[in-house]
Amino acid sequence: MPTIDLAGIAAQLQACGITHMVWIPDSEMGGLEAHLDPSIRLVRACREGEAIAIAAGLMLGGARPAVVIQCTGFFEAGDAFRNVAKDLGLPLFLLIGHRNRTAFLEGRSKDSAAKHLQAVLGAWELEYIALEPGGDPAVIGELYARSQGSGSAAAVIVAE
């Protein structure tokens, strides 16, 4: 079974000119740190809401952060997301690990985290695309360019 192309994702972050990766790892995306170009500063947050607020401050200062979290953390961070994307209107860019997405879509998992993510993203009117197993990480660069161009938040959900 194809796994997540962590090296490909890291290369995309670098190609996008990401300056800071603000994150809390999960078991699937956890290896990303090892692939990260040293030019990208890692900021380890304690909660995902914190990660999003840090990214907002980074953007106000002209940096180009990416927030990398699991969908569980996105649920936790709802109010921070609301404030940064809606009140402050900043083009927050997220990579969200979609826990058990593949197993859920194939009927092998009933994980509530897998089931409800897209409905929550929809409720937030957040543009997103899914990076499926074996998919081309280039979608990250494309969505990042679009989000920074339009000035709106966007997310890539990474199938786990």
Q: Which of 21, 84, 95, 156 binds other proteins (CB under 8 A)?
A: 84
Report if residue 17 touches other proteins, rule: CB under 8 A. no
CB of 47 to other proteins, least distance (A): 6
CB of 129 to other proteins, least distance (A): 25
- What is the DSSP code string of the chain? -----HHHHHHHHHHTT--EEEE---TTTTTHHHH--TTSEEEE-SSHHHHHHHHHHHHHTT--EEEEEEHHHHHHTHHHHIIIIIIS----EEEEEETTHHHHHTTS---HHHHHHHHHHHHTT-EEEEE-TT--THHHHHHHHHHHHHT--EEEEEE-
Residue 96 main-chain phi, psi, to 5 deg: -115, 120
x/- letters, 44..83, toward other proteins (CB under 8 A): xxxx-xxxxxxxxxxxxxxx-x-------------xx-xx
Report if residue 145 touches other proteins, rule: CB under 8 A. no
User: Is the separation of the CB atoms in 95 and 68 below 8 Å?
Assistant: yes
CB of 54 to other proteins, least distance (A): 4
* Region of 27-35, 43-51, 100-108, 137-145 interacting with other proteins (CB under 8 A): 43-51
CB of 46 to other proteins, least distance (A): 3
Q: Which of 38, 87, 106, 149 binds other proteins (CB under 8 A)?
A: 87
Residues between 99 and 128 with contacts to other proteins, criterion CB under 8 A? none
64/98 with CB nearer other proteins: 64
d(CA 33, CA 10): 8
Contacting positions for other proteins (CB under 8 A): 19-20, 22, 41, 43-47, 49-63, 65, 79-80, 82-84, 87-89
